[in-house]
Structure 1
Amino acid sequence: MCVSDLEQLLTGCTQLETLSLMFDVSIFLRPNFARVWPLASAKITCLEIGYISSAMVTELLSPILGPQHSPSRMQFSILPNIQKLWLAVDYITDTMIGTISKSLISLTHLDLRDAPIIEPSVTIDLTDSGLLLINPHGKLKHLSLIRSQEFVATDFKRVNDLGILLMADRCASMESICLGGFCRVTDTGFKTILHSCSSLYKFKVTYGSQLTDLVFHDIDATSLALTHVSLRWCNLLTNLSFIRLASNRNLSVLDLRDCRNLGDSSLQAIGTLSKLKTLLLDGSDISCVGLSYLKENVMSSIVSLSVRGCKRLTDKCISILFDEYSSRELRELDLSNLPNLSDAIVLLLAKSRVQLVELRMRQCPLIGDTSVMALASMQADDDSCRGSSLQLLDLFNCGGITPISFRWLKKPYFPRLRWLGVTGIVNRDLVDALARSRPFLHVCFCGEELGTNQWDNSDDMYMHDYEEVDELEQWLLDGDNENADEDMEDAEDNVEN
């Protein structure tokens, strides 16, 4: 896509209200990119950009002068009615925050994520002064500031409790706050948010290296009605914090991934949350005893469950979760990196007829061909589409997967599958042939995570959907792909020979 394509899009869509540019717009020359945006519809209220530099954001949103012959030559703002803004940038900076806050007077949702490739200097970083610029018009309801460590291990080192305290004064009406990478913010800062924002229902902290149990010490004294809580990589938290959090009876999403001190006593409290829909426990110290606490109340309503990397779990532990009554709503399950998980649990899962949409079992050395055959044989409740309900299946680096499994990954098995993770070294010819025979199937073999942002779909920005098989796909699969099927058969013959 070039600037002229963008210009054509903006001029041709005069009634446009939502625009998502899910690619790297930094490929455009900076002056040219900013120059076409005055052509955009004033009706745009939601803007999402996959990647853009902070300098380009500042240029894009800087007010421009009116026409040359205008009597007053007043300044006109770009995108004057934007309410929701989602950006992935190189650096979150004070200058960019100030420009966004000043220019977008109707902003209610601000979601910024950066991924620095080097340690940022003070001129290209976020500081306490930048936080003071947030929400000058008092309309902001959702704020997300996340620093990714994708390229370099770095945090917002120039933000401390003072910045959070100053920001909290302007964010009393905030409903959702997500902060990631604020390594110098302590319990004092986080506690101020919880006690100042009485309307808060979503609270998310990632890489909270100084977050301790003290922040939740008197959470019962607040009027909060939290429904979404995420505390990922907060390793100083203990069971005491999670037990106190469970006093919020309306919790529906609880993301406690990589909280190493989470144990069975936490699950005893979490097991009383009857409204819980998403529970993510990756890398925690739970056992069979802990999972048994979930069975009575939580598993009857849970939709997404992840116990990835919980090393103490065995087949016996997981079997507690599957019976006729306890897992009716379960659709997404992650059993990855469990060294003691075997085909027996998959056979039990198939027998229970749980209608899973996503199943992840990567890095499980005992999972093999038997699991694939069992899953392929499952039938969905919807008689109009026979076969497994799975739309995502991740088997990357499972020790028992052989070329035999690929016979069960062909049509007509797994008719709804859209994402498949396998190990390419099993047989690359088979992998390539399978990809050709099923053109609507994304076959990944390098270990990448499948889908979009796994388990991050509690935010509107990252929701993903899967389309059902349509008539065109059915026609392609049934009648126009015979050569690809023959390639698959040839690849199998080569393996056998």
Structure 2
Amino acid sequence: MFDVSSIYLRHNFAQVWALASEKLTSLEIGYISSLMVTELLCTNFVSHQPSNRIQPSILPNIHKLCLSVDYITDAMVGAISKGLLSLTHLDLRDSPLIEPRVSFDLTNSGLQQINQYGKLKHLSLVRSQEYVITYFRRVNDLGLLLLADKCENMESIFLSGFCRVTDTGFKTILHSCSKLYKLKVSHGTQLTDLVFHDISATSLSLTHVSLRLCTLLTNHAVTSLASNKDLKVLDLRDCRNLGDESLRAISTLPKVKTLLLDGSDISDVGLSYLRQVVISSLISLSLRGCKKLTDKCISALFDGSSKLELQELDLSNLPNLSDNAVLLLAKSRIPLLELRMRQCPLIGDTSVMALASMQVDEERWHGNGLRLLDLFNCGGITPLSFRWLKKPYFPRLRWLGVTGSVNRDVVDALARSRPFLHVSCRGEELGVEQGDTADDVYMHDYDEMDELERWLAEDDYLDEDMVADEDMVNAEAVE
């Protein structure tokens, strides 16, 4: 991934890519203007060699193309579809600075040009709202009907920002793509329960479904989706009308591993329906911003059982969650790798001490196996917590989120004393690299040697870090 706009002048861009190897099969560009893409693929480059011969088609064997552009346009989509004959994976994301004019936008005509050769298996069309609230306003149900005509072999579809598409358009996609196993729709402002009403009558076997910010959906949609017993990932973030009945339906899914319920209307009682799923299969659970939840949600979910697969738990932005919930969590000895509790006003030093003292599987190392702990803007965190974030506590911790204003000197001293630890105090989401997006389900890669592993490998490592520890003691003394 790279930014071509700062490297090449526009008129030199085609010349550069004319030299690309024919063996190139996958290309991802961090940012490029749609006009450069169109000009690159629309006309063959005329060589400056004496023969002035016409070069063969640029990038003839590209199978996967991922571009971040200023505007997704009909001209660009048409050039890609006509010029890249082997394309099976197309991922386009734009971030308009202003509302696009018709000549710089995607319309029904552009959708009709996609997948002209019928080889596409993955399609992603995303309009980001990073700079301005904008949608694909020139695409309606007709556009998706035209697209569906060529989608027989499609396996994965991600559509974000199609505000004029109704149930008719989305339903056409579901009924036309018999091989579809991954469906993602974001900002589907007109998508309702009716899309999934008769999904059990189709031959679909969905394993990944994301319906983020589809605010018209209710429990009935989830009940219908639950007929797909192979579902492994279910992302229902910001579907605020979902309640406890949706959890009852989800409890019947035997293979679900990732469940994101941010901002929904669920309660502590409803979470008890998920207990069997938590015990049997769930690896990642997000309950961020579910305002009805209280400390009782921990006992409702876990009920004292520690033999779980759960590795990631997000309890952020829960105004009624207190230290008592974390004490229950620590007592359950659940082997979490990630715990997020940002923006919880009642979480304080007691939670840090409980987690630091927690042991899993009778290990002698304190702080269990947590690799990520997010405590940003938690109301009760004081400099006392930082004493429990020093070695030997939390030996596997890689990412820590705190509020820098608690005591900047202590934060800096902690960062110096633990060089393997990424300490963040500006509120950014932990572990998300620059190229990642909020729409993706993020999974950490922990292959690098962590702090505990280095301690075990080097007997004198603790002695080498004595100076850094002294810095932290001095910072606390200043406090």
The aligned counterpart of 1:190 is 170
Separation in structure 2 between the aligned mates of residue 72 and residue 36 of structure 1, nearest angstrom:
17
Separation in structure 2 between the aligned mates of residue 322 and residue 149 of structure 1, nearest angstrom:
38
The aligned counterpart of 1:120 is 100
Amino acid at match of 2:476: E
- The alpha-carbon deviation at position 271 of structure 1 amounts to 0.7
Asked if structure 2 preserves the Cα contact closer than 8 Å seen for 1:62 and 1:78, the reply is: no
- The alpha-carbon deviation at position 378 of structure 1 amounts to 3.0
- Aligned equivalent of 1:418, options 392, 398, 405: 398
- The alpha-carbon deviation at position 61 of structure 1 amounts to 4.0
- 1:178 and 2:158 are equivalent in the alignment: yes
Residues 299-378 of structure 1 mapped to structure 2, 5 A cutoff: 299-323=279-303, 325=305, 328-378=308-358
The aligned counterpart of 2:269 is 289
Q: Deviations over 1:128-157 (max 9, x none)?
A: 111111111211001111111121111111
The aligned counterpart of 1:91 is 71
Identical residues among aligned pairs (%):
71
Unaligned residue ranges in structure 2 (runs of 5+):
none
The aligned counterpart of 1:206 is 186
The aligned counterpart of 2:5 is 26
Q: Deviations over 1:269-295 (max 9, x none)?
A: 111111110111111111122111111
Asked if structure 2 preserves the Cα contact closer than 8 Å seen for 1:321 and 1:327, the reply is: no
Asked if structure 2 preserves the Cα contact closer than 8 Å seen for 1:140 and 1:174, the reply is: yes
- 1:433 and 2:417 are equivalent in the alignment: no
TM-score, normalised to structure 2, is: 0.91
Moved more, 185-194 or 46-55: 46-55
The aligned counterpart of 2:470 is 486
Separation in structure 2 between the aligned mates of residue 354 and residue 490 of structure 1, nearest angstrom:
35
- The alpha-carbon deviation at position 91 of structure 1 amounts to 1.6
- Aligned equivalent of 1:248, options 228, 242, 264: 228
Cα 1:440–1:87 change in 2 (3 A) is: farther
Amino acid at match of 2:423: V
Cα 1:425–1:470 change in 2 (3 A) is: closer
Cα 1:131–1:443 change in 2 (3 A) is: same
The aligned counterpart of 1:446 is 426
| Secondary structure of residue in 1 paired with 2:280 | coil
Q: Deviations over 1:293-340 (max 9, x none)?
A: 111245421001011111111111222212454761101110001111
- 1:167 and 2:147 are equivalent in the alignment: yes
Q: Deviations over 1:170-203 (max 9, x none)?
A: 1121111110010000011001001111111111
Aligned residues: 471
Cα 1:30–1:319 change in 2 (3 A) is: farther
Amino acid at match of 1:329: E
| Secondary structure of residue in 2 paired with 1:26 | helix
RMSD: 2.5
Separation in structure 2 between the aligned mates of residue 279 and residue 273 of structure 1, nearest angstrom:
11
- 1:47 and 2:27 are equivalent in the alignment: yes
| Secondary structure of residue in 2 paired with 1:420 | strand
Asked if structure 2 preserves the Cα contact closer than 8 Å seen for 1:299 and 1:321, the reply is: no
Cα 1:97–1:480 change in 2 (3 A) is: farther
| Secondary structure of residue in 2 paired with 1:234 | coil
Amino acid at match of 2:475: A
- The alpha-carbon deviation at position 477 of structure 1 amounts to 6.1
Separation in structure 2 between the aligned mates of residue 422 and residue 454 of structure 1, nearest angstrom:
22
The aligned counterpart of 2:370 is 390
| Secondary structure of residue in 2 paired with 1:170 | coil
Unaligned residue ranges in structure 1 (runs of 5+):
1-20
